[in-house]
């Protein structure tokens, strides 16, 4: 136990050092929220992946591999497609437009592109971001509580508070630069853990042949990617839902900020290559660890604890401590970005743009730090209620953000008739449909993933409303370089 705590303290020391090193950059809004747009390709690549994956990867996706076996590899397929499309279709274009318009946030980009003098798009975006970030951060704090209580002997509520204090304090001090560079550290640790754990677990089970035989004895469907129920409608709905998990990569604003923070457009193609390779290793490692874990430890009450169980049962204390740090890294790499996203929406889009605050950048950056604490505290209150299904709760928030911003960003860059009313309708429609679907429809549609109807409705509304209102609200001039690869 002392060894595990020593490893944790050493890791926290690294975070403190990086936060202190980054403090100078937090004195301006661009510095606090985008690291001054100076980041190299390897930083934005790891930061994109670490932020997009979170505690969902090490607890949720490993738990999914434990629960449904090889079918979870369809999530890997969907994520690879989503990440590739995000880097290929969106990254360079949003980077270029954010530089041209001196934008710091995604609402900044949209407001500038569509000359939104009434701040309609900003107000809609603020409401969506704050709602979804609270849900998302709550789920991540639940994950931190599960991780701490699984690794060290403390109760869940104490573990959640401890995780929240660490994450909020670190984000408050370091801003986006510290977040991005610690994402690199965290991403490397996650990669190490997702190679080491499945490898050792498979070896402990007697090799992959032994794992396969064990899983086949439990349920042959665990080894068949195509075995979704009886092969009927529900099976196909499940398959497409798993693959659609990658769609939010096209618009989740906490990921778009990574593209915007690049030092120049030339960093994007190199970052794309690194990002795709790493996401493949992340996801395959997570699902495989879950499957091997089920062969070793069948019958767990909570599938999402399989990674901590493997870490504590198969490794000595030093490695267990390192693996606990890896779980914490996955959680932190997302929570800090979400807190900055919510803070930027309140301060940049709300205070400075909508309310017209005349305070200087340094003062506004200070308000950003206070908002970071407030949002974290609100999420903590919800997390203390303990939501058991991290995977699905994260997907709810993930899809809400993706459905709100993904369709309108795709239309902004690829449909020249897109105008302000179309974007407003698309944002609201995609968001509301995804939430409504979860609350009232999902259980009657074979659990169809809410991102699918949300994305479709958001796209259709953007296109239809843009065409209907084209005479009164003509679309802006075509983007320079809109056809660039």
Query: pLDDT per residue over 308-320, tens digit each?
Result: 899 989 999 888 8
Is pLDDT at 411 greater than 90 in this prediction? yes
Assess contact for 223 and 212: CB atoms under 8 A.
yes
Indicate the length of the chain as a whole number: 485
Cα–Cα dist 208/199, whole Å = 10
Instruction: Provide the pLDDT for residue 392.
Output: 60
Using CB atoms within 10 Å of the CB of residue 483, give its burial: 0 to 12 exposed, 13 to 18 middle, 19+ buried: exposed
Instruction: Provide the pLDDT for residue 202.
Output: 97
Query: pLDDT per residue over 359-409, tens digit each?
Result: 887 788 788 878 888 888 888 887 787 655 554 666 677 788 999 999 999
CA 391 remoteness from chain centre: 12
- Contact partners, residue 19, CB within 8 Å, separation at least 6: 170, 173, 174, 178, 182
Instruction: Provide the pLDDT for residue 409.
Output: 97
Instruction: Provide the pLDDT for residue 483.
Output: 43
Token representation of residue 28: 């301006």
Cα–Cα dist 14/178, whole Å = 11
State the pLDDT confidence band at 126, using cuts at 50, 70 and 90. very high
Least confident of 223-227, 380-384, 452-456: 380-384
Using CB atoms within 10 Å of the CB of residue 418, give its burial: 0 to 12 exposed, 13 to 18 middle, 19+ buried: buried
Is pLDDT at 62 greater than 50 in this prediction? yes
pLDDT top residue among 393 and 299: 299
Token representation of residue 155: 């109760």
Average pLDDT for 403-416: 96
Using CB atoms within 10 Å of the CB of residue 159, give its burial: 0 to 12 exposed, 13 to 18 middle, 19+ buried: buried
Instruction: Provide the pLDDT for residue 474.
Output: 93
Is pLDDT at 40 greater than 90 in this prediction? yes
The model scores a pTM over 0.85 = yes
Is pLDDT at 4 greater than 90 in this prediction? no
State the pLDDT confidence band at 485, using cuts at 50, 70 and 90. very low
pLDDT top residue among 419 and 338: 419
Is pLDDT at 42 greater than 80 in this prediction? yes
pLDDT top residue among 434 and 55: 434
Query: pLDDT per residue over 134-145, tens digit each?
Result: 877 877 787 777
Average pLDDT for 349-353: 92
Is pLDDT at 256 greater than 50 in this prediction? yes
- Domains in the chain, ordered, with CATH? 2-390 (1.20.1730.10)
Place of tokens 């198969």: 314
Is pLDDT at 121 greater than 90 in this prediction? yes
- Contact partners, residue 451, CB within 8 Å, separation at least 6: 244, 245, 247, 248, 395, 398, 399, 402, 403, 434
Closest CA to 105 of 118, 84, 121: 121
Instruction: Provide the pLDDT for residue 484.
Output: 40
Instruction: Provide the pLDDT for residue 482.
Output: 46
């Amino acid at each position: 136990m002392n060894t595990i705590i020593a490893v944790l303290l050493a890791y926290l020391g690294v975070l403190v050092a990086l936060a202190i090193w980054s403090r100078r950059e937090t004195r301006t809004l661009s510095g606090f929220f985008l690291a001054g747009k100076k980041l190299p390709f390897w930083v934005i690549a790891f930061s994109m992946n670490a932020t997009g994956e979170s505690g969902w990867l090490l607890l949720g996706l490993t738990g999914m591999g434990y629960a449904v076996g090889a079918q979870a590899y369809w999530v890997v397929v969907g994520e690879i497609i989503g990440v590739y499309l995000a880097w290929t279709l969106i990254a360079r274009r949003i980077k270029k437009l954010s530089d041209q318009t001196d934008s710091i946030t995604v609402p900044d980009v949209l407001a500038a592109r569509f000359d939104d003098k009434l701040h309609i798009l900003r107000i809609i975006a603020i409401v969506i971001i704050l709602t979804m970030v609270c849900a998302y951060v709550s789920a991540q704090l639940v994950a931190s509580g599960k991780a701490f209580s699984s690794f060290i002997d403390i109760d869940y509520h104490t573990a959640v508070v401890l995780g929240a204090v660490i994450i909020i304090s670190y984000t408050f001090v370091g801003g986006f630069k510290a977040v991005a560079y610690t994402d690199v550290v965290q991403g490397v640790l996650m990669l190490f853990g997702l190679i080491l754990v499945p490898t050792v677990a498979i070896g402990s089970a007697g090799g992959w042949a032994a794992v396969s035989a064990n899983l086949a004895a439990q349920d042959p469907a665990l080894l068949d990617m195509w075995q979704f129920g009886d092969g009927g409608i529900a099976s196909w709905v499940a398959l497409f839902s798993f693959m659609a998990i990658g769609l939010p990569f096209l618009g989740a604003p906490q990921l778009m900020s990574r593209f915007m923070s690049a030092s120049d457009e030339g960093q994007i193609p190199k970052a794309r290559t690194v990002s795709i390779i790493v996401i493949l290793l992340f996801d395959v490692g997570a699902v495989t660890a879950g499957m091997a874990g089920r062969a070793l430890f069948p019958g767990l009450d909570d599938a999402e604890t399989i990674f901590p169980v493997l870490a504590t049962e198969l490794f000595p204390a030093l490695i267990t401590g390192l693996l606990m740090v890896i779980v914490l890294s996955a959680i932190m790499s997302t929570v800090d970005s979400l807190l900055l996203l919510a803070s930027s929406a309140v301060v940049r889009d709300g205070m400075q743009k909508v309310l017209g605050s005349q305070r200087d950048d340094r003062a506004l950056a200070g308000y950003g730090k206070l908002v970071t604490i407030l949002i974290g505290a609100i999420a903590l209150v919800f997390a203390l209620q303990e939501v058991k299904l991290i995977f699905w709760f994260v997907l709810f928030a993930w899809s809400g953000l993706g459905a709100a911003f993904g369709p309108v960003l795709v239309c902004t860059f690829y449909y020249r008739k897109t105008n302000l009313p179309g974007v407003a309708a698309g944002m609201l429609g995609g968001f509301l449909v995804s939430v409504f679907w979860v609350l009232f429809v999902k259980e009657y549609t074979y659990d169809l993933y809410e991102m699918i109807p949300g994305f479709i409705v958001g796209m259709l509304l953007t296109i239809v409303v843009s065409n209907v209102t084209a005479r009164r609200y003509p679309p802006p001039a075509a983007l320079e370089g809109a056809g660039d690869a």
